[in-house]
A and B are shown apart, each in its own frame.
Chain A
Amino acid sequence: MEAAVNNQLVSIEKPEIVAPPDWQPVIIGILCNWCSYAGSDLTGTSRIQYPPNIRIIRVPCSSRVDPWFLIKSLQTTADGVLVSGCHPGDCHYISGNYYARRRFLVTKKLLHFTGFHENRIQFSWVSAAEGPKFAKVVAKVTEDIKKLGPLHLYKKENFEK
């Protein structure tokens, strides 16, 4: 078999359009209830500070996340999406995150292929005890998206919000 083509995709790290000086990215965070949402609560309880750009949506399990949530997010309000679930083997629902992991990889690669920077959608495993890790993940995602600039999906039209 040939070398993996999907690892050869070229990404460039320059803003797609020049951002206004006061621009702040909007990042949607979709977190599973049992690990990552609890972890983000722990970040709060421990008063660990992170950038305020993330807006968190609670779902029962990362396997509830349909790929088109991510597509819809990028299409409407978000400059970037973070999906976070339980570590492999720790899923509250036994195997949900394993199914989710496959879908995430394919979705991420497909969006990358069709011209979205791979940092636009990111994934993490954050357990209920990993408050500091959640803060780190959010900081990294925010920084990545800030580098990429605002996402204007198909600028030729002003799509309904």
Chain B
Amino acid sequence: MARVGVFVCFCGANIADFVDVPAVVEEAKRIREVKFAIHYKYMCSDPGQQQIRDAIVQHRLTSIVVAACSPRMHEKTFRKALSDAGMNPYLLEVANIREHSSWVHQKDKKAATEKAADLVRMAVAKSIANEQLHEISVPVTKRALVIGGGIAGIQAALDIADARIPVVLVEKSPSIGGKMAQLDETFPTLDCSQCILTPKMVDVASHPYIELIPYSEVIELDGFVGNYKAKIRKKASYVNFKTCTGCGACWQKCPVKVPNEYNMGLDKRKAIYTPFPQAVPNKPVIDATHCTMLLKGKCGICSKVCEKGSIDYTMKDEIIEREIGAVVVATGYDLWDPKPYEEYGVGRFKDIITSLEFERMVSANGPTNGVPVRPSDGKVPKNVVFIKCIGSRDEAKGIEYCSKICCMYTTKHTILLHHKVPGSHSYVFYMDIRAAGKGYEEFVKKAQVDTAATYLRGRVSKIYKKGDKLMVRGEDAQIGQVVEVEADMVVLATAVIPNKDNPDLARLLGVSYDKYGYMSEAHPKLRPVETAKAGIFLAGCTQAPKDIPDTVSQASACAAKVCGLFSGDTMKKDPMISTVNNEYCSGCQNCVKVCPYGAIVTEEVPMGHGSKEMRTVAKINEGVCQGCGSCVAICRSMAITLAGFTDPQIINEIVSI
């Protein structure tokens, strides 16, 4: 006979004001199995928990019901109280009488009390069917996978590796560095991006705990937290990295010219190339979509000039596997294509460029050696118009959110223009200046004074050509008039959008993503680094637009989470998983088909006791099972049980109302 103890919480006034708590206790006492029932002001406080502990011992209780706030809030607290009193913590049931009764039925105390009593009855009925459960220990593979080699991935990889945990860093392009490697100077301190980034890139390459796998993609992730298995496709580079010295003879002689992605297509690279001079690893790859040798079988110059014989035109994509325990996703961002702004003449007027193109122009290692020039005639522009919020905060044409970094980098651009082109003048069309961040507002204020840039609050309505100038017509909302600016060049601060591969990658990893394609964190405030899938963490613009300091902070936070996860040799896992009753299993294997985690396999068992003939039954890998219950509901012979949510528990709840 079950002996249930019921503990009803006032939650100060939160419950007591709208539910007649003593009446709920009286109602609970009328249940046959309830041997003890009390109420207390704050059940979660230490004296409250002490009452539970005392009652367990004094009244020899076999299960406990706490009627209080949501189990999502304090289930763990009360479970701990049970185990402190020597009772199995999974004999606890929480009746949620705060979120589900007192807070939502504040106008009807009688109904709220009745409902609370019902919820207690249901919890009591369920708890009677509760079983003792024990946490499962799962071994952990102490190796982390970092996807993406931008500043987020680099920082996460370095921090994890510094804790002497092996890291596999997978980068899609031939070199790590990401978007930050394309920047000239960084706000708000104007230090050179290359100067602060390249040492970290070199650290990654030389770190004994980091395995850098460039020019590769993750194509499969199996398993579960602590025990993932990743398949990585190494794209064919056609260059043997082991023998290549990176001398550069091949790309100097290569006759094929291709628009250079690193410089936003403003100049050309060769078909065999390293993305930029400081690339890590500094080994070239052959672009198979342009190399004439690979396409038509004619050329072969790079192979001829290579003294080491490192060129191998027969190389194929290679698939490698790595066992890992945790994943950091740092896939970064792309920039929004401003084509929908037809009224600006995007695409028609060559002298309208995007901010990243401008960034490349003013960069010392850029295509124009650090001087901005007009793409139309190569002249240095004097009057430059910067337009912010291109695509951002624009529900009609772009996306609803603020891209967060454009205000700051546009300010930086006005300074760079001021520095690089004497006598130049910047005009900035803006909606708001959002400069929240350490030193940001000061930076903007100082820049406005130093550069004497003209800030015009309002949207640009039209850009048209007059001679070789661009006429920018917009509204200055502060004087309430239409203004026209004669510009040599227009720079559009285009919105930050998630990496276009994000949704595919998210599906592959099994994490959720939002309507824009950013991967979703487990909780927007309290768990901004984790995803809902255990062991997968997010760093940088994979999760939302952010600047470099925020990205680096989040990457380090990921590293801390990974190190925490790997702090022991085994991991504790919730025991609420499925098990198969062999006696009832008929081996139809529908559960194998339905399980989203591939946690179910089959095994052969004797037909009967001592029988030699074998039959097939399902077997659940307790390390892999996440406890969703899909298999339980489709098992017709009810051979599968999900601990914590068994059929008797749920049916007890249904029939006890």
Contact = CB atoms under 8 A, between A and B. Distances in A.
* A–B interface present (Cβ within 8 A): yes
Interface of A: 24, 26, 28, 33-34, 37-38, 40-41, 43-45, 47-50, 52, 55-61, 63-66, 69, 72-73, 76-78, 89-90, 92-96, 99-100, 103, 135, 161
A90 B522 CA distance: 12
A55 B645 contact: no
B139 interface: no
Nearest to A48: B104
Most central of B71, B108, B645, B657 by chain A CB within 10 Å:
B657
Interface residues of B, number: 47
27 contacts: A28-B654, A28-B657, A34-B532, A40-B99, A41-B73, A41-B99, A41-B100, A44-B70, A49-B104, A55-B118, A56-B100, A57-B650, A59-B650, A60-B576, A63-B629, A64-B645, A72-B651, A72-B655, A77-B654, A77-B656, A78-B657, A89-B512, A92-B628, A95-B630, A96-B596, A96-B630, A100-B633
Interface string B619-640: 0000000111110111000000
B657 A55 contact: yes
A79 to B, nearest CB: 11
B108 A60 contact: no
A92 B532 contact: yes
Contacts of B105: 49-50, 52
Given A44-B100, A55-B118, A95-B596, A64 B629 contact: yes
Contacts of A64: 628-630, 632-633, 642, 645
A45 B72 CA distance: 12
A91 to B, nearest CB: 8
Interface stretch (B109-117, B265-273, B451-459, B604-612): B109-117
A72 B654 contact: yes
A55 B119 contact: yes
Contact of B122 (A50, A55, A99, A100): A55
A45 B630 CA distance: 30
Nearest to A135: B104
B224 to A, nearest CB: 12
B72 A59 contact: no
B103 A44 contact: yes
B35 to A, nearest CB: 23
B77 interface: no
Given A43-B99, A52-B108, A60 B115 contact: no
Contact of A45 (B71, B103, B111, B596): B103
Contacts of A56: 96, 100, 119
B510 interface: yes
A30 B96 CA distance: 14
Nearest to B510: A94
Given A52-B112, A55-B657, A78-B657, 4 more contacts: A52-B114, A57-B650, A72-B654, A99-B634
A147 to B, nearest CB: 19
Interface in B152-201: none
A53 B42 CA distance: 27
B596 A52 contact: no
B181 to A, nearest CB: 34
A49 B111 CA distance: 12
The 7 closest A-B CB pairs, nearest first, are A44-B99, A64-B629, A93-B628, A52-B111, A44-B103, A63-B630, A94-B596
Nearest to B100: A56
Contact of A65 (B104, B112, B119, B633): B633
A63 to B, nearest CB: 4
A103 B114 CA distance: 33
B655 A161 contact: yes
A33 B72 CA distance: 9
A99 B103 CA distance: 33
A33 B645 CA distance: 11
Given A49-B104, A50-B104, A61 B655 contact: no
A47 B512 contact: no
Contact of A99 (B72, B630, B647): B630
Contacts of A43: 99, 104
Nearest to A67: B633
A25 B327 CA distance: 49
B98 interface: yes
B581 to A, nearest CB: 16
B104 A77 contact: no
A38 B103 CA distance: 15
B63 interface: no
A55 B108 CA distance: 16
Interface string B354-388: 00000000000000000000000000000000000
B166 to A, nearest CB: 28
B633 A66 contact: yes
A47 B100 contact: no
Given A41-B99, A49-B106, A89-B512, A63 B633 contact: yes
B122 to A, nearest CB: 6
Contacts of A78: 654, 657
A61 B106 contact: no
Nearest to A26: B657
Contacts of A96: 596, 628-630
Contacts of B98: 44
A70 to B, nearest CB: 10
B655 A57 contact: no
B122 A93 contact: no
B101 interface: yes
A92 to B, nearest CB: 6
B629 A59 contact: yes
A77 B594 contact: no
Nearest to B513: A89
B653 interface: yes
B107 interface: yes
Contacts of A28: 654, 657
A95 B594 CA distance: 9
Nearest to B647: A66
Contacts of B532: 34, 92
Contacts of B645: 59-60, 64
Nearest to B102: A44
Contacts of A93: 596-597, 626, 628, 630
Most central of B72, B630, B634 by chain A CB within 10 Å:
B630
A61 B657 contact: no
Contact of B72 (A38, A66, A72, A76): A38
Contacts of B594: 63, 99
Contacts of B657: 26, 28, 55, 77-78
Contacts of B73: 41
A69 B72 CA distance: 23
Contacts of A44: 70, 98-100, 103-104
A135 to B, nearest CB: 7
B654 A47 contact: no
A45 B11 CA distance: 13
Given A59-B645, A92-B532, A47 B104 contact: yes
A154 B527 CA distance: 51
Nearest to A31: B100
Interface in B575-612: 576, 594, 596-597
